[in-house]
Amino acid sequence: MSLPYSTEKEHAYQAIVRAAALCQAVQADMIKPTAAEKADRSPVTVADYASQAIICKELADTFPNDSVVAEEASEGLRARDQNQMLSQVTHYVQTQLPEATSDDVCDWIDRGGADSGQRFWTLDPIDGTKGFLRGEQYAVALALIVDGQVQVGALACPNLPLDLDHPDGSRGVIFLAVRGQGAEMLLLPKGDQSVNDPNSATPISVASLSDPSAARFVESVESGHANHAAHESLAHSLGITQPSVRLDSQAKYGAVARGDAAIYLRLPSPKSPNYRERIWDHAAGVLIIEEAGGRVTDALGAELDFSQGRKLEKNRGIVASNGHLHSAILNAITLEE
C-alpha cells in the first residue's frame, strides 16, 4: 500500500525538476535575463512565466480537479508590446512541450489564477526573482494545501550549495516533504542526467543545538518587507555573534531544515505595516522545516494560517527555527516590542 500523498509527491517532484531545468536554460542563454515590470514593479522574467506554464500543465494533466494559486498571470504577456517576451516564453516551454502554442502557454499560466479552496496547489515559479537575475539564490516552490494545512512541499534550489560552508562546491538540491513522513533532500539532476526517483532522497533534520548564542541565522537579501535592523537587535539579545547569512528565496527554509542554520527571521518592516506575506512564498518551506523537526510561526508565535486566500492575512512576520530555540526567540521579540 502506498503512503498518503505519494502520487502528489512524485508529480510535484517531476514538475519542479522540469521547471528548474528550464530556468537554468534561460540563465545559460541570456547573460542578462530579460526582465519586465509588473504592476507592483517587481521584476518578472521569461523564466517565471515559462516555469509556471510547465508546472500548471503538469498539475492539470495529473490532478485536473485541483486548483492552483500562483504568482503570475498572462495579462502582461498578452499585451501587444510584449510579443517578443511571449515568443521567448513559448520557445522555452516548447523545449519540453514541443506542441505548445503561445495561446496554450498563456492558458496554462492562467490556471494559477484560481481561488483557494478545500484542496489546492500554491506555486511560486521563481521564488527570489531578484536572486535569479543576479545569478544567486532562487527556488521553484510548490505545495499542496488541503483543508488549510500544507500536506506536500517541494523546493528546487538550483544554485544552493550542498553545504553553505563550502559555497564553491557542488550546487543544486531538491527538498521534499509530506506531512507526517519527514523531510528529504536529493541532488538536482544536471543536464542530460535522468531524473532520480524521489524515494531515493536522503532524510534531513534540523540542527540539534539548544544554546541560541551558538546559532547561525539566515535572512532575506532584500529589506523591502523584512526588518534587518530588528533582526540584528534580536540576534544581539540572544547572544548570537555570528553574522547573518543573507539568501534570496525559500532556500532559507532549506538551509534551516538541513541544519546549515538554526534560525530564519523575517520580522515585519515598519515601512510596510500592512504588508501580509503571500502563501506561495512560504508554504513549501514551512512544511519542509516542520517535517525536519523544526518549528515555524509568525512573529507573535501564532501558527501560519494558509486558509485565508492568497495571503497570510492573520499573520505578521515569520520566525522559523530548529524548534529548540523557538521559545527563546519569541520571548526576545516580545521584550523588544
d(CA 210, CA 334): 20
Which residues are CB-contacts of 43 (< 8 A; sequence separation ≥ 6)? 35, 36, 37, 129, 130, 133
* Catalytic annotation present for 48: yes
Can you read off the three cell numbers belonging to residue 292?
525536519
* Catalytic annotation present for 129: yes
Report yes or no: 251 and 109 within 8 Å, Cβ to Cβ: no
**Catalytic residue selected from 45, 90, 129, 297:** 129
Instruction: Give the burial string for 38-53 (b: 16+ CB within 10 Å, else e).
Output: eeeeebbbbbbbbbbb
Report yes or no: 313 and 302 within 8 Å, Cβ to Cβ: no
Task: Compute the Cα dihedral for 279, 280, 281, 282 and give only its sign.
Answer: positive
Catalytic residues: 48, 129
